[in-house]
Amino acid sequence: MIKIRNLRKVYGDIPALCGLTMEIGSCELFGFVGPNGAGKTTTMKIIAGLLRADSGEILIDGERVTVHAKKLKGEIGYVPDFFGVYDNLKVQEYMEFYASLYGMSGRETRKRTEELLGMLNMTEWREEMVDSLSRGMKQKLCVARALVNNPKLLVLDEPASGMEPKYRRQLKELLQQLCAEGKTILISSHNLQELSEMCTNIGVIDKGRLLMQGNVQEILQEQTISNPYVLQYIRFPEEAMALLKSHALVKNIAIRENSLSFPFTGTREEAAALLSGLVAAGAEISSFFREEGSLEKLFLEVTT
């Protein structure tokens, strides 16, 4: 759906994007990660048509994004990383104002506003002044606003950074639901655990270039397979240790207090047989598992 080719942007003499090339498929929930200053916000603003790149191009469903491209703007919902000031507007008025910008009728506007405030559990705040809302509430309102024109692409720049856990979960579930309904979503965040639970795909950028991108499940599985087993014990007698050391599939045992870890190349059945053998040799084992892959580990590996 989105093709980004060789995108470059310099602010004065600060390079922000240095030939970024990346693809986001239809209906993907794409997590966009990178260290501070990597170029995420710059990329998202260019996608949303709010900032002009120096060179390179972005195609959305084959159409080139340019600043002031009216048609595409109508198909993109954008949640910025910072919010402006909203003079004397109530939540409901604010939503209706944005809906009216898309040429909706009065009735349609009210219906859509009600629907979106309901979706984000904000109905009870409809009479509150926008400026009096807390940061997390403003963030939710901004997400509601970005959905007002029912865009097929949603671009969210750290939408959950100040939200309490309950709101974060609501937002996560909403984005997953929207994605299942056919929207394409690009979301930036520094919370890698949350992204790995929510996203289908991930792209890592640094210094204005893509370092890697891929399917989250595949990345995690690949990592998990190469991760060591961890064995926590209450008692681990000499006999058990001798068995472990002599096992053909076990190498480089790391010994810590009350736990051992070791790379294990065997199948799950072979792991189960090893565990039974250790118990038969007198070991009292409280847990035995392969460390799971994490995006955080991947991120630290590719960005350093």
Ligand X SMILES: Nc1ncnc2c1ncn2[C@@H]1O[C@H](COP(=O)(O)OP(=O)(O)OP(=O)(O)O)[C@@H](O)[C@H]1O
> Which spans of this chain sit near Mg ion (rule: CB under 5 A)?
40-41
Structure tokens that stand for 243 in this block: 């068995």
Residues whose CB is less than 8 angstroms from the CB of residue 73 and which lie 6 or more positions away in sequence, other chains included: 48, 49
**Binds 16: which of ligand X, Mg ion, none (CB < 5-8 Å by kind):** ligand X
- Choose, by CB under 6 A, the member of 34, 80, 203, 293 that binds ligand X: 34
Q: Which is nearer to ligand X, 185 or 274 (CB)?
A: 185
* Binding status of residue 38 toward ligand X by CB under 6 A: yes
Using CB under 6 A as the binding criterion, the count of chain residues that bind ligand X stands at 11
- Choose, by CB under 6 A, the member of 4, 7, 28, 39 that binds ligand X: 39
Q: Which is nearer to Mg ion, 96 or 157 (CB)?
A: 157
Q: Roughly how many angstroms between the first and final C-alpha of the chain, as a whole number?
A: 30
**Binds 140: which of ligand X, Mg ion, none (CB < 5-8 Å by kind):** none
Question: Does residue 121 contact residue 170 with C-beta atoms inside 8 Å?
Answer: yes
Which residue reads 């084992």 in tokens?
285
Per-residue contact string for residues 3-22; x = within reach of ligand X by CB under 6 A: --------x--x-x------
Q: Which stretch binds ligand X (CB under 6 A): 30-38, 53-61, 143-151, 231-239?
A: 30-38
Helix H or strand E segment including 262:
strand 259-262
Q: Which contacts (CB < 8 Å, 24+ apart) does range 253-256 have?
A: 254/228
d(CA 13, CA 255): 51
Helix segments in the chain, DSSP class H:
40-47, 70-73, 91-101, 106-119, 135-146, 165-180, 192-198, 216-226, 238-246, 268-280, 295-303
Q: Which is nearer to Mg ion, 199 or 243 (CB)?
A: 199
Helix H or strand E segment including 203:
strand 201-206
Q: Output the smallest distance, CB 11 to ligand X, in A.
A: 3
| Contact positions with ligand X (CB under 6 A) in 41-80 | 41-42
**Binds 252: which of Mg ion, ligand X, none (CB < 5-8 Å by kind):** none
Q: Which is nearer to Mg ion, 161 or 215 (CB)?
A: 161
Q: Which is nearer to ligand X, 9 or 73 (CB)?
A: 9
* Binding status of residue 210 toward ligand X by CB under 6 A: no
Q: Which is nearer to ligand X, 37 or 214 (CB)?
A: 37
Strands of the sheet with 2-11, listed across from one edge: 14-24, 2-11, 55-60, 63-64
* Binding status of residue 33 toward ligand X by CB under 6 A: no
| Contact positions with ligand X (CB under 6 A) in 110-129 | none
Residue 235 exposed, middle or buried by CB count within 10 Å (0-12, 13-18, 19+):
exposed
Q: Which is nearer to Mg ion, 169 or 190 (CB)?
A: 190
Q: Which residues bind ligand X (CB under 6 A)?
A: 11, 14, 16, 34, 36-42
